[in-house]
């Protein structure tokens, strides 16, 4: 959600902080601020609105702000208090001796605020984060590390924080519990951030803090401790993508760039993981032998949003290929409803960022209940990856746009490989396995074919951009694609869109069909197509415009629709990917025509690290 950047070292801090904030803009935010420290004290500048506005302010200033070598910065996504300049970070303690930036939620902030008000403290904002600044300062007696340590022992909730003190110029103290913090190790300098994209310009060597870690940083010296255990050692890891991977590369939007990166991203995901000779998948990260795979009697997939939609496709594939029960749970529900899981179940957590709060909580609940737990994530070193110690990295590269595209299709491709792996350990023959493996290897080629129709999809989008509502329908494997298509459209175009199983139309939604309610129907060849065609006829009979996603050359499906988007012929289990890509392009072009902020949709954040 919110973005944190901190710097201490040999160079001027302000350009590094502003650059880092710009890299974090994709996370979604409503205000931004910066603070620097020197021998003369702490100087803070902040405002509601975009980082560009903040940059204009600070770049016009000389003196301490421009010359300081230590500072912190933040982009805020409002939780407690509206998006105003006063609520923007950084926040000061009551006397201005301590300043901090904070991601997360301090759940006992009201009790702490009342305590400090009774002591005569004055608060300038409505935020829980300012309360934390007052708490740290109340413990400060010349040692910032000790003050933060003492304060955090009184805190209930989640946090990723970076702190400075007026009396300790050149020192940063950072800590995390439930909200990510990464420390970039440079040459006589250290860069702190909530996301590796903010540090990759300066270094690829990074330390990812664990929950309850707290670190004192001065120049290149990093001293990490645990709130509970004292000094700890954290091994640096290398960020495996270049700074250029997080740039637009000539595209109008990150989302469009990432849509067009999907053939390469999916190729990277499946590279080295398909064994055509044995007709199986090589997924060493699962660390499971065929005998151990056979012992798994049920697969539970947990995720949120797009990751949950990918999981639904995985459910279909695992049951279809391997004939073992598979279920998908919304991660927050899994945590709070006391799920029934055991040692013969495998829980697979799916999260692009590896930091999703609800999914992380589900992982911890599954571990507590004695289940085998694995992760499917895109970010090396992320919390979910570390806490499961078993799973698969997507290797899809950084995804900057808030609306997920290449992560989704890479997740689906990986889930197909997982289903194949399970199936070969059960009853699937080598010949059938080889056939499925070849189809999985074809997926990048299928996506390439859809991308070549981008101009045609743009033309189709022009016919649907003026509607304010839409239905997406599908059956079988196409049902989760309908859910994902509706999610993409509502995320970036602000059109109210709903995804339904096609059979559900007559159980209520059909009452809304009229000329102003278009239906996007997934009609590509496969089981259930004839039934969905009948549903399309019902839509047309009620004057609803119909856009069909059809298999190339299917004239019957074409004739049933007002407009069509064609995808290549392939089995339905692999057609989910080109169909999803077609709907991504449709949503993108509709949002572009409507003039929406495609990469940073209102109210949304890329990584949901608080409940």
Domain boundaries, the chain: 3-239, 250-441, 446-600
What does the alpha-carbon distance between residue 604 and residue 592 come to, in Å, rounded to a whole number? 17
470, 279 in Cβ contact below 8 A?
no
Please name the residue ranges forming H helices in 428-501: 430-441, 443-451, 454-464, 478-493
SS3 440: helix
What does the alpha-carbon distance between residue 119 and residue 115 come to, in Å, rounded to a whole number? 7
- DSSP assignment of 379-395, as one string? STT-HHHHHH--EEE--
pLDDT per residue over 317-344, tens digit each? Answer: 999 999 999 999 999 888 788 788 888 8
What mean pLDDT comes out for the span 84-95?
Answer: 92
What mean pLDDT comes out for the span 531-542?
Answer: 93
- Asked if pLDDT for residue 204 goes beyond 90, the answer is no
Q: Tell me which of 62 and 185 has the higher pLDDT.
A: 185
pLDDT per residue over 257-316, tens digit each? Answer: 999 999 999 999 999 999 999 999 999 999 998 888 989 999 999 999 999 999 999 999
- What average pLDDT is seen over the chain? 91
Span 446-600 CATH architecture: 3-Layer(aba) Sandwich (3.40)
- Asked if pLDDT for residue 607 goes beyond 60, the answer is no
Distant-in-sequence, close-in-space partners of 508: CB < 8 Å, separation ≥ 6: none
Evaluate whether 3-239 and 446-600 have a shared fold: no
Our CA dihedral for 499, 503, 507, 511, rounded to 10 degrees, sits at 60
Sheet of 546-551: strand order equals: 496-501, 469-474, 519-522, 546-551, 563-567
The pTM assigned to this predicted structure is 0.81
- Asked if pLDDT for residue 21 goes beyond 80, the answer is yes
Least confident of 238-252, 362-376, 482-496, 501-515: 238-252
Dihedral-angle region of residue 178 (phi above 0 means left; psi in -120 to 50 means alpha; beta otherwise): left
Q: Which tokens is 392 given? A: 């698969």
Please name the residue ranges forming H helices in 323-442: 331-336, 357-368, 383-388, 406-425, 430-441
Least confident of 121-130, 339-348, 524-533: 339-348
Q: Tell me which of 157 and 259 has the higher pLDDT.
A: 259
Going by CATH, does the domain composed of 250-441 fall within 3.40.50.10490?
yes
First to last CA, the chain: 11
Tell me, what's the pLDDT at 244? Answer: 64
- Which are the catalytic amino acids? 2, 606
Tell me, what's the pLDDT at 605? Answer: 60
What class is the 3-239 domain? alpha beta
What does the alpha-carbon distance between residue 248 and residue 250 come to, in Å, rounded to a whole number? 6
What does the alpha-carbon distance between residue 406 and residue 411 come to, in Å, rounded to a whole number? 8
pLDDT band at 573 (very low <50, low <70, confident <90, very high): very high
Tell me, what's the pLDDT at 189? Answer: 94
Q: Considering just the CA atoms, what is the radius of gyration of the chain in Å?
A: 25
What does the alpha-carbon distance between residue 255 and residue 234 come to, in Å, rounded to a whole number? 34
SS3 537: helix
């Amino acid at each position: 959600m919110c973005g944190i950047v901190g710097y201490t070292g040999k160079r001027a801090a302000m350009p590094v902080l502003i650059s880092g904030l710009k890299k974090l803009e994709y996370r979604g935010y409503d205000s931004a601020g910066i603070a620097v420290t020197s021998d003369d004290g702490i100087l803070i500048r902040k405002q509601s609105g975009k980082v560009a506005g903040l940059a204009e302010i600070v770049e016009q200033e000389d003196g301490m702000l421009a010359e300081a070598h230590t500072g912190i910065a933040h982009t805020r996504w409002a939780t407690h208090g509206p998006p105003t300049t006063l609520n923007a970070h950084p926040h000061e303690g009551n006397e201005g001796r301590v300043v901090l930036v904070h991601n997360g939620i301090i759940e006992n902030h009201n009790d702490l605020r009342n305590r400090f008000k009774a002591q005569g403290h004055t608060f300038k904002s409505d935020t829980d984060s300012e309360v934390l600044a007052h708490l740290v300062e109340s413990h400060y007696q010349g040692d910032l590390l000790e003050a933060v340590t003492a304060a955090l022992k009184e805190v209930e909730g989640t946090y990723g924080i970076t702190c400075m003190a007026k009396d300790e110029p050149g020192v940063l103290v950072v800590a995390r519990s439930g909200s990510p913090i990464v420390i970039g190790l440079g040459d006589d300098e250290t860069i702190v951030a909530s996301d590796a994209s903010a540090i990759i310009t300066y270094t690829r060597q990074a330390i990812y803090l664990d929950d309850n870690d707290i670190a004192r940083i001065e120049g290149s010296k990093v001293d990490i401790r645990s709130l509970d255990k004292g000094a700890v050692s954290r091994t640096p890891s290398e960020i495996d993508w270049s700074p250029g991977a997080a740039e637009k590369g000539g595209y109008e939007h990150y989302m469009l760039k990432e849509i067009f990166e999907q053939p390469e991203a999916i190729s990277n995901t499946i590279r080295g993981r398909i064994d055509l000779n044995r007709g199986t998948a090589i997924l060493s990260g699962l660390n499971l032998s065929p005998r151990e795979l056979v012992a798994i009697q049920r697969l539970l997939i947990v995720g949120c949003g797009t990751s949950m939609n990918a999981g639904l496709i995985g459910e279909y594939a695992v049951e279809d290929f391997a004939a073992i029960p598979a279920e998908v749970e919304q991660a927050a529900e899994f945590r709070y409803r006391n799920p029934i899981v055991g040692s013969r179940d495998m829980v697979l957590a799916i999260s692009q960022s590896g930091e999703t709060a609800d999914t992380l909580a589900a992982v911890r609940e599954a571990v507590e209940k004695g289940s085998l737990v694995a992760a499917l994530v895109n970010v090396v070193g992320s919390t979910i990856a570390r806490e499961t110690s078993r799973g698969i990295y997507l290797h899809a590269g950084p995804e900057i746009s808030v609306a997920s595209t290449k992560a989704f299709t890479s997740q689906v491709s990986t889930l197909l490989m997982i289903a194949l792996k399970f199936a070969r350990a059960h009853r699937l023959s080598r010949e059938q396995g080889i056939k499925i493996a070849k189809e999985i290897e074809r997926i990048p080629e299928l996506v390439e074919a859809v991308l070549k129709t981008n101009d045609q999809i743009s033309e189709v989008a022009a016919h649907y951009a003026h509607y304010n509502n839409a239905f997406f329908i599908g059956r079988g494997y196409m049902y989760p694609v309908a859910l994902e298509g509706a999610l993409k459209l509502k995320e970036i175009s602000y059109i109210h869109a709903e995804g339904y199983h096609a059979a559900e139309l007559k159980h209520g939604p059909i009452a809304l069909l009229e000329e102003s309610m278009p239906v996007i129907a997934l009609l590509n060849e496969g089981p259930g197509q004839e039934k969905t065609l009948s549903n399309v006829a019902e839509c047309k009979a009620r004057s609803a415009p119909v856009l069909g996603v059809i298999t190339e050359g299917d004239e019957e499906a074409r004739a049933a629709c007002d407009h069509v988007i064609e995808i290549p012929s392939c089995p339905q289990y692999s057609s989910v990917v080109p169909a999803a890509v077609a709907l991504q392009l449709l949503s993108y072009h509709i949002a572009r025509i409507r003039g929406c902020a495609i990469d940073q949709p209102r109210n949304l954040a890329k990584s949901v690290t608080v409940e």
